[in-house]
Structure 1
Amino acid sequence: MMHTKSSLKRRNFIGNISKASLLGVMSAGNATTLIKDVNELSARPAEGHIFLAQPYLQAPSENSMSIMWITNKLCYSWVEYGEGDQLNQKAHEIKDGLVNAYNRVNAVRLNNLKPNTTYSYRVVSKEILEFQPYKLVYGITITSDTRTFTTVTPKANEVSWLIMNDIHDRPQSIPHLMKLNGNTPYDYVFFNGDIFDYQTDEKQIIDHMLTPCLESFAGHKPFLFVRGNHETRGKYSRELADYFTSPSGKYYYAYQWGPVYSIVLDTGEDKPDDAPVYAGIVDFDSYRKEQAAWLEKEMQTPAFKRAPFRVVMMHIPHFYSGDWHGTLHCRELFAPLFDKYKVDMVISGHTHKFGVFAPEKGKHNYPIVIGGGPKDGNRTLIKVTANQQQLSLKMLKDDGSEVGNYMVKRK
């Protein structure tokens, strides 16, 4: 079960409880973390009971979908959903016999869905005014608009997705780049890191990513996300994971959609762990080694080996991004595995210079694609489509012009 962190205002109701007891549960299997002051999270209780972020779709599969949303009051929340235009089923999250409640950041996983089926859904949040051991008092209930989503088609013959990277706290770039796709169908959106400059608070996450995504697509099309090096920075970086889910519950994961088996790696920081700016509180070398061990096991699975195409998405490219520590460590750990297990393409960002680099013997046996950003004239939208015979990539600059393409034939 996924579970969400309770965001509570300590001095209003916790009193003199020791800090060790102020533990809230994070979403998507992440580690336990201290509860944050509700004012820090910009919950704005004076505005009445409202959604700070309407429901957005995460971690799609053939028989499940995660729905996340944020309220400004502590609530008991659930999802109403059903096939077609029905809303005849209800789902909430349960952890160890307790239904998740008295929280604001919600993640509800809808399970046992039918593949390739359209569902309607809406979310409901009931304010909790008073939560005593033997007395619970509810307040105002709010309900979102009804939206729809479609589950993944098993063994689909085709898949298409859009990739953005290096937005760097320019929220207007998200709808602008999405418009470049026009009316071309797509299955999901992938954010390949550095959507923010650094992590400050919840309001930044809502205003600079969730809201523009919701205005563009996220209520009816899912998105997936991986950190860039800038998402590891700032006082709120350790809470960022509360607002997203993935197939693994981690920042690195794998999934297959149609003919493409995708590997997502979290490349961490670009400087050494002992760089003074990190003040001794990072350990990305160990984290990348952990991913390399996981990666080789993943690449040995029958599903990976059988997939018509194998694509890696990670923020820092292991070539063409200088000789900083992060680049070289990724090259050391990941490049031999990419060659050994014959990946078909690596898609990255980070350098702010878009480019398509064909395979180079003795260096990398697959194309490396790097998206641009974040300034006007250098922002890019990457469009990937694949069927059983070929995988095609096209990169558009923010004026709509094509600035790169590559096609891989099935081997």
Structure 2
Amino acid sequence: MIQNDKPAPSRRKFLGNLTKAGLFGAATLAPGARTAAAAVSNAVPEAAPAAEAHAFLCQPYLQHPMPDGMTVMWLSNKPTYSWVEYGETEALGSKAQHSNAGVVDSYNTLHKIRLSHLKPGTTYHYRVHSKEIAEFQPYKLTYGDTLVSEIYSFTTPALKPTEVSWLVINDIHDRPQSIPHLTGLNKDPYDFVFFNGDVFDYQEDEKQIIDHLLAPAGKAFASNKPFIFTRGNHETRGKYRRELANYFDGEYIFDRTWGPVHFTVLDTGEDKPDDHPVYAGIVSFDEYRRQQAETLKKIVATPAFKKAKFRVVMMHIPHYYSGDWHGPMHCREMFAETFDKSGIDLFIAGHTHKMGIYQPVKGQHSYPIVIGGGPKDGNRTLIKVKATEKDLQLVMLKDDGSEFGKVELKSKR
């Protein structure tokens, strides 16, 4: 809905009036051209295009869930000053905005506002506001219309939850209809959705990110349930690849404990050698993976990792069952030994477009490897995982809702 702070401005007028004499000097026109000139000069000019209406480009979407906070993000088509109203009831009552060094975020179209000091395990209601800045001069600021969303809700994670449930989607490759379809297959409660790479074919512009991820995810679930995103090899391609991270609140590489599960998420980079001609000398993924290998060694040495009832690793390129291309083999070289020595319990990946559940193999991997399918109809998958203090259950669904396979684990700790 739109609340009008002032009357809508008049339509923009064309600059100047083009006269017959100015466009078609009679002395310079050939005789046969004069009829056409007269026709043009006597034609009724087209109306100036209406100014684009102020609008949200997607519903708000939730990021970075923590027991005491949640990030709300959204986009508008015009520069604005934006804020979030929120509260434990639909009456709301609190306001959040983002500022840095005394300056409140404004005159931007991508909005990221952190709701802090929240209560664990509590349901909050919220709505977002974007107030157009029609003119921004050093000593004069003029506001336009204010957009106000409907009221949504979310629940913060408990401080010490005894269980966690999540959904995994991978390799939909610029097929936005797959997001509501796959999440719609789930009928059980869940805490978040994890996008495990190759949501896109490459990164072209902001519109692609909105149309193929943020808008369909918002309509399907993301205004009420958070999602977490890590790159696949296709998200490292295209002229807009560096900007992609701006649309999320989090890192491509991280670790976190949620209830009985310790999550380790890695960013596997490209699948070809760095010196492959298609990269034109402007990638360095081997060194990037080497750095992550050192980070991984530090993660598995932490008390949080060691004490977790279940240790789960999620990354896009699997280090087994993915052929002998450079990317999978380098991932194996960098990560496999640490995975085995540290005793991870479950590994979830994508990339191959071939759904598979592979049980432990002595001398290779001591944990189940689960690889989601995609992207074509009939080959897409939804992975559902639920863990308690004692059990972890994973079910992989085909896109017709039938079960492909499952993993059932008992806690070793």
TM above 0.5, yes or no, is yes
SS at match of 2:65: coil
Q: 1:267 aligns to what?
A: 268
Of 99, 110, 123, 1:94 maps to 99
1:139 to 2:140 alignment: no
> Partners in 2 of 1:233 and 1:337 — Cα distance?
29
Matches for 1:279-318 after TM superposition, within 5 Å = 279-318=280-319
Assess, with a 3 A threshold, how the Cα gap between structure 1 residues 258 and 46 changes in structure 2: closer, same or farther: farther
Q: Provide structure 1 residue ranges, at least 5 long, that are not aligned to the other structure.
A: 1-43
> Partners in 1 of 2:160 and 2:333 — Cα distance?
34
Q: 1:225 aligns to what?
A: 229
- Displacement of 1:85 in angstroms is 2.4
Of 158, 167, 179, 1:174 maps to 179
Q: 1:241 aligns to what?
A: 245
Question: Contact between 2:90 and 2:151, CA under 8 Å: does it hold in 1?
Answer: no
> Partners in 2 of 1:107 and 1:348 — Cα distance?
29
- Displacement of 1:46 in angstroms is 4.1
SS at match of 1:360: coil
**Deviation readout 1:97-154 (Å, 9 max, x if unpaired):** 2111111011111111100000011111111112122221111111111100000012
> Partners in 1 of 2:51 and 2:169 — Cα distance?
35
- Displacement of 1:86 in angstroms is 3.2
Q: 1:39 aligns to what?
A: none
**Deviation readout 1:218-273 (Å, 9 max, x if unpaired):** 11011101000001111111111111112xxx211112211111111110000011
Share of identical aligned residues, percent?
64
1:321 to 2:322 alignment: yes
Amino acid at match of 1:163: V
> Partners in 2 of 1:139 and 1:47 — Cα distance?
13
1:128 to 2:133 alignment: yes
> Partners in 1 of 2:290 and 2:85 — Cα distance?
41
Matches for 1:318-397 after TM superposition, within 5 Å = 318-397=319-398
Amino acid at match of 1:69: W
SS at match of 1:303: helix
- Displacement of 1:292 in angstroms is 1.5
> Partners in 2 of 1:129 and 1:410 — Cα distance?
58
Q: What's the Cα RMSD here? A: 1.3
1:202 to 2:214 alignment: no
Q: 2:159 aligns to what?
A: 154
> Partners in 1 of 2:405 and 2:151 — Cα distance?
39
Assess, with a 3 A threshold, how the Cα gap between structure 1 residues 258 and 403 changes in structure 2: closer, same or farther: same
SS at match of 2:66: coil
Q: 1:69 aligns to what?
A: 74
Amino acid at match of 1:221: K
Q: 1:18 aligns to what?
A: none
> Partners in 2 of 1:272 and 1:139 — Cα distance?
51
**Deviation readout 1:290-347 (Å, 9 max, x if unpaired):** 2122221122111111110010110000111011111111111111111121110110
Assess, with a 3 A threshold, how the Cα gap between structure 1 residues 45 and 281 changes in structure 2: closer, same or farther: farther
- Displacement of 1:84 in angstroms is 2.7
- Displacement of 1:47 in angstroms is 2.7
> Partners in 1 of 2:54 and 2:299 — Cα distance?
44
Q: Provide structure 2 residue ranges, at least 5 long, that are not aligned to the other structure.
A: 1-48
Q: 1:55 aligns to what?
A: 60
Q: 1:11 aligns to what?
A: none
Assess, with a 3 A threshold, how the Cα gap between structure 1 residues 45 and 377 changes in structure 2: closer, same or farther: farther
**Deviation readout 1:61-111 (Å, 9 max, x if unpaired):** 111101100000011111111113231111111112211111101111111
Question: Contact between 1:382 and 1:394, CA under 8 Å: does it hold in 2?
Answer: yes
- Displacement of 1:45 in angstroms is 9.9
> Partners in 2 of 1:140 and 1:381 — Cα distance?
41
SS at match of 2:216: helix
> Partners in 2 of 1:408 and 1:232 — Cα distance?
34
> Partners in 2 of 1:251 and 1:46 — Cα distance?
39
> Partners in 2 of 1:76 and 1:298 — Cα distance?
39
Q: 1:277 aligns to what?
A: 278
Q: 2:87 aligns to what?
A: 82
Assess, with a 3 A threshold, how the Cα gap between structure 1 residues 177 and 134 changes in structure 2: closer, same or farther: same
Question: Contact between 1:45 and 1:73, CA under 8 Å: does it hold in 2?
Answer: no
> Partners in 2 of 1:87 and 1:198 — Cα distance?
40
1:165 to 2:170 alignment: yes
SS at match of 2:365: coil
Question: Contact between 1:45 and 1:72, CA under 8 Å: does it hold in 2?
Answer: no
Of 183, 189, 193, 1:189 maps to 193
Larger Rg: 2
> Partners in 2 of 1:267 and 1:347 — Cα distance?
13
> Partners in 2 of 1:316 and 1:202 — Cα distance?
25
1:106 to 2:111 alignment: yes
1:115 to 2:116 alignment: no
Question: Contact between 2:133 and 2:141, CA under 8 Å: does it hold in 1?
Answer: yes
> Partners in 2 of 1:301 and 1:93 — Cα distance?
32
> Partners in 2 of 1:330 and 1:97 — Cα distance?
44
> Partners in 1 of 2:245 and 2:86 — Cα distance?
25
> Partners in 2 of 1:47 and 1:353 — Cα distance?
44
> Partners in 2 of 1:121 and 1:201 — Cα distance?
29
Please report the TM-score for the alignment, with normalisation by the length of structure 1.
Answer: 0.87
Moved over 2 A (4+): 44-47
SS at match of 1:351: coil
Q: 2:27 aligns to what?
A: none
Q: 1:215 aligns to what?
A: 219
